[in-house]
A = this chain, B = another copy of it.
């Protein structure tokens, strides 16, 4: 299959730092808590990034479950990431502006044999698009 190009169009609300991302016919509000100059009407970008990873793991697990002979009764993914505000504020030039590290934990309830569940999760580790992207992707302004 050829490459496909996906898009998002983000427009500033005019108030504080809040924006709305328009993705096809869907909208997501992105904001910051009031302590960071926001109006707290949506997740902040880092929280949304963690959600992308969890959502993508969820898509891949549920997409491949049948192929691996795994029935899923319940699936929950906790994702957390660390950031040091001294990085992006410029207070400490030794600290990167971005996320320092991300951890996730998958809770899966399944009546299927645990070796099948493990095989599914190992496959997911390898092919999850967002996990792979977070190992580094070229980003450029045009």
Interface residues of chain A, those whose CB is within 8 Å of chain B, are 1-12, 16-17, 19, 21, 23-24, 26, 28, 30, 32, 37-38, 42-63, 72, 74-91, 96-106, 125-142
Residues in B with CB closer than 8 Å to A86 are 1
This chain: how many copies in the complex?
Answer: 2
Using A98-B132, A130-B98 as known contacts, say yes or no to A4 and B137 having CB atoms under 8 A apart. Answer: no
List 5 A-B residue pairs with CB atoms under 8 Å apart, sorted by A's residue number.
Answer: A6-B44, A10-B54, A21-B54, A46-B52, A100-B137
Contact A141 B106 (CB under 8 A): yes
Q: State the main secondary structure of chain A at its contact with B.
A: mixed
Residues in B with CB closer than 8 Å to A100 are 3, 137-138
CA distance A131 to B102 in the complex (A): 15
Using A4-B85, A30-B58 as known contacts, say yes or no to A76 and B137 having CB atoms under 8 A apart. Answer: no
